[in-house]
Amino acid sequence: MAKVFGIVSTKGGVGKTSIAANIGGILADMGQHVLLIDGDFQQSLSDWFEITDKAEFGLRQFITKAQPTNCISSTAIDNLDIVLSDDPNGKLIDWFRASTNNVYYLLASIKRLSDYYDYVIIDSQGARGILQESIILASDSLICPLVPNVMESREFIRGTIQMLKSLEPPAGVSVPVPNIPPLYGVIYKQDRTNNSIKIANAIRKQFYQGSGGKISVLDTFVPNLTAYKKAVAAGLPVHRVEVTRSGPTPSAHDTILSLVHELLPHLSDTRPVWDKNNVSPIKKAAGGEE
C-alpha cells in the first residue's frame, strides 16, 4: 500500500520541487519503489531527472481519466518513475471546475497504483487552487517547506493553514468528508544567523502547540547550500551530489537521509546505495564538487 506525500505551500519558490525530487531520489536509492507526480504546470519536477522511457500521456490523462495507464514515465534513477506535467497553459483547471466530484479523480488514479509503489510524492504549485486541494485530498501526509523569516512564516499562516482549514467541515456538522492529512513543516534554507535560528525555533513552538497535533515541525532542517542548486543542474538527487562536507553544516546526503528517517522511522536502518561510477553526462557538464 503506497504512502502518499503531498508537497504543498501557498508560497512560491520555497523549496517544494527540491524536496519532492530529493526525497523521491533518496527513497529510490534506499530500494523503495517511488512514483513522483508533477502537479505544477511549471514542469520543474518533470525537467529534473533524465527520462529514459517517456509515456504517451502525463498528468492531464492521469487525473481526468482517473486511471494511470500510459501515464507513467521512467527516469534514469532505478526505482524512480514519474507522471510528467503536460499542462503548460493550466487547462486542467477548467476541467476541475466542470464538476465538484473532479477533485477526487487524482486520489482515484493513485489508488489504482497503490500496490505497485511504496511511496507516491506529489509536487504542487505555490498557490491556492483546486488542483492543490485535490493533491491534499489524495495525500496521507503533507510536507511544507518553511523558510525562516518573518514574512514567510506569516504567509504560511495566512495561506497554507487557511487552505487546510477551508477543507474541513463546518464545526458541529457531521458530513462524510475525507480526513485532512497531517502536515510536517520542514525549516528550509536556514542560514546560520542568530535571527534565522530564532525564527525557526519560534515557528516550531507556535505550530506544535497551536495545531492540536495536526501540524508539526520536523527536527531536521535543510541548510541554505549551493549543493541543492547543483543537484537541479546535474539532474540528480542531492544526496548523490554532496555526500560529505567539512565543517559544522551537515552534507546534503546526511540532511536528506535524516529527513527521511524522521518522516519514516521504520527505514532508519536503511541507507541509500547507488553506482558511484555511473555519473550521468549531464552531471559531468555541471561541474565537480563544491
Ligand X SMILES: Nc1ncnc2c1ncn2[C@@H]1O[C@H](COP(=O)(O)OP(=O)(O)OP(=O)(O)O)[C@@H](O)[C@H]1O
Q: Which residues sit at the interface with Mg ion, rule CB under 5 A?
A: 16-17, 44
Let me know how many helices (H) and strands (E) the chain has, helices first: 13, 10
Does 229 sit near ligand X (CB under 6 A)? yes
Does 287 sit near ligand X (CB under 6 A)? no
* Contacting residue, 34, 203, 225, 256, with ligand X by CB under 6 A: 225
Residue 151: enclosing H or E segment and its boundaries? helix 150-155
Does 222 sit near ligand X (CB under 6 A)? yes
* Contacting residue, 2, 5, 16, 148, with ligand X by CB under 6 A: 16
| Main-chain dihedrals φ then ψ at residue 136, nearest 5 degrees | -60, -45
> Cell triple for residue 116?
505497485
| 222 contact, one of ligand X, Mg ion, none, CB 5-8 Å limit per kind | ligand X
Q: Give the CA diameter of the chain.
A: 60
Sign of CA dihedral 142, 134, 65, 56: negative
Nearer to Mg ion, 85 or 251 (CB): 85
Nearer to Mg ion, 76 or 127 (CB): 127
Does 232 sit near ligand X (CB under 6 A)? yes
* Contacting residue, 3, 33, 41, 42, with ligand X by CB under 6 A: 42
Give min distance, CB of 139 to Mg ion, in A.
16
> Cell triple for residue 133?
486541494
Distance between CA atoms of 147 and 14, rounded to whole angstroms?
7
Tell me how far CA of residue 281 lies from CA of 226, 230, 241, 287, in angstroms. 20, 14, 14, 10
- 15 and 188 Cβ atoms separated by less than 8 Å: yes
Interface segment toward ligand X; rule CB under 6 A; list 14-22, 71-79, 93-101, 204-212: 14-22
How many Cβ atoms are within 10 Å of 108's Cβ, its own excluded? 14
Binding mask 104-143 for ligand X (x = CB under 6 A): ----------------------x-----------------
> Cell triple for residue 108?
482515484
| 186 contact, one of Mg ion, ligand X, none, CB 5-8 Å limit per kind | none
> Cell triple for residue 101?
466530484
* Contacting residue, 163, 189, 217, 240, with ligand X by CB under 6 A: 189
Query: Which stretches of the chain bind ligand X, using CB under 6 A?
Result: 12-18, 40, 42, 44, 126, 189, 222, 224-225, 228-229, 232
